Structure 1
Amino acid sequence: GSGLYVKGLTDGFHDVPPPDPVLRAQLNELSLAQLVCQLQETNPELAARVDLRNRRRVMRALEIASSGKNRPSREWNGVAAAGIGSGEISAAETGVATRAAKPQSEGGVLLIRDRDDLCGRINDRVYAMFRADVEEEVRALTEIGSTAAHALGLRQLQRFIAGEIPRDECIAQIQQATRRYAKRQLTWFRHQSNFPQLNLTPFSHQEAVSAILQMAQRHLARE
């Protein structure tokens, strides 16, 4: 997601092979079990590092394996670069530097908030979604792609529309799922970026903008 885009800008891009439309069309004809079996036979080491429950990641791993750029992680950290890892690989194995291992950079700013402030904003945002008739938007959907199907709140809204859960429970579940996602995002950025942090909670909008501009100006003045 957006975190990997930021990492591409700050750390550069890796030698990851491009998608293969012909191979991808062939792989789309196979079941997940068949894809996993093929990957395990083709490259057991790569298969051990991939989330085998995720069809899209298994297919991408097969593309990488077929390209010949499937060397061990100590030589090539393509699993991490391609975003297909199982989440169980350490930074040391993949060669991805953590924030503690790199000097702090002022090329960006990691914006954070106090926990209560952030959770309150998330809860308010979900209430605002329902005031804007988000359930009607979901009812109007005629087709949902595989990526969009994992959108935060969609599963809960579908259960609410189907009459499986009441509105209040739907709202509470979406709020909880969003808070958990925000926590994972913050953990990821703290470990994978080396930006200085700025807590927005004490600041007004204009004060926060001024603080960010000052940090950027200091960085540019040193270049």
Structure 2
Amino acid sequence: MTTEVKPKLLVLLGPTAVGKTRLSLELAAAYDAEIISGDSMQVYREMDIGTAKITPEEMQGIPHHLMDIHDPQDSYSAAEFQDQATKAIEDIRARGKLPFIVGGTGLYIESLCYGFRFSEAVADEAFRKEQDEYAEEHGALALHARLEAVDPISAARLHPNDRRRIIRALEIHHQTDTTLSSSHAAQKKESPYELCIIGLTMDRKMLYKRIEDRIDQMLEDGLVDEVRTLLERGYGRGLVSMQGLGYKEIAAYLEGETTYEEAVTLLKRDTRRFAKRQLSWFRHMKEIEWIDVGEEQNFSGNFEKIRDIIAGKFLSGLEYTSEQSN
């Protein structure tokens, strides 16, 4: 009797601004890997600064997949990501390369790693419209409270401003009388892949400082002009893409609802809260090997720790070229 050999899948995850990009490039070069973005916002064209998207020059010739594949008016879901990333993995393996997921969108990455089956509840446009109108009349917090009443676990993971996902969770409960969180909990935690999941973390105060510095750099790089251009091209604030961090806060400023200073303060606060929710999501994933990448650690030391983890997880059959990481 033969045992099926699962394909290897390397994963690097962590909260926003923790330093995934540099390590991912070094690891991809060292292990002859191609990177698949595990970020729900980097799929959108024309949204570069606010999503901290790597530039073609910064890629150093390493192929990156599932970036710039949709226009901002298009919706994108975890199910679509799972399907496209699975196909990308097969394509990368067929060329003898190592598939490498890098990102911070917990549901996307976990659904891929463990082959989640998504709810079969179909779209109920009348129900969605009713919930949308309720939110318009009573506010985001009131809609969020509706979800908290029937599915407190999902409510804790979703920001009150994430109207689309809140309504979808309510829709699933409305149609199936089960919750989104119970559906996730019931998923088989058996992966179709031989996984090596590396998680990056650091002291919370240090992470928050990096987040604020990154936002300052985004603003210096032209975030306001990027959002202004999107609005001028007709991409309305109700789009899922325009509800992303950086876009909704700056759009509110550009349309006179807040001052610039208020918009920046809100953006920094909301991004800190987002990082906290990312870490909360990742903490319940049991197979993550965590690396503290705080400033007291040197890059080479962290790289070697990750190299040792990969060697232990994948055991043999994965070539490592040490000179590539120098």
TM norm. shorter chain > 0.5: yes
| C-alpha separation in 1, matches of 2:210 and 2:132 | 44
Q: Which structure: greater strand fraction?
A: 2
The answer for the alignment partner of 1:117 in structure 2 is 206
The answer for the alignment partner of 2:263 in structure 1 is 170
Q: Would the aligned equivalents of 1:106 and 1:215 in 2 still touch at CA under 8 Å?
A: no
| C-alpha separation in 2, matches of 1:166 and 1:155 | 13
The answer for the alignment partner of 1:129 in structure 2 is 218
Q: How much has 1:195 moved relative to structure 2?
A: 1.2
Check 1:150–1:15 CA distance in 2 against 1; reply closer, same or farther (3 A cut). closer
The residue correspondences of 1:13-162 to structure 2 (distance < 5 A) are: 13-14=116-117, 16-17=119-120, 24=123, 27=125, 31-33=129-131, 48-49=150-151, 54-59=166-171, 65=175, 70=176, 79-80=180-181, 94-95=185-186, 107-141=196-230, 142-144=234-236, 146-162=239-255
Unaligned 5+ segments in structure 2 are: 1-39, 41-104, 135-148, 156-162, 318-326
Percent identity (aligned)? 23
Return the TM-score normalized by structure 1.
0.63
Higher relative contact order (CA 8 A, sep 6+): 2
Which AA in structure 1 matches 2:280? T
The answer for the alignment partner of 1:89 in structure 2 is none
Q: Which structure: greater helix fraction?
A: 1
State the superposition RMSD in angstroms.
3.7
Q: How much has 1:191 moved relative to structure 2?
A: 1.9
Q: How much has 1:222 moved relative to structure 2?
A: 7.9
Q: Would the aligned equivalents of 1:32 and 1:55 in 2 still touch at CA under 8 Å?
A: no
Q: How much has 1:215 moved relative to structure 2?
A: 0.6
Deviates more, 1:162-171 or 1:197-206: 162-171
| C-alpha separation in 1, matches of 2:128 and 2:205 | 46
Unaligned 5+ segments in structure 1 are: 37-46, 84-93, 99-104
The answer for the alignment partner of 1:102 in structure 2 is none
Q: Looking at CA atoms only, which structure, 1 or 2, has the larger radius of gyration?
A: 1
| C-alpha separation in 2, matches of 1:34 and 1:121 | 35
Check 1:143–1:107 CA distance in 2 against 1; reply closer, same or farther (3 A cut). same
- Give the count of matched residue pairs: 180
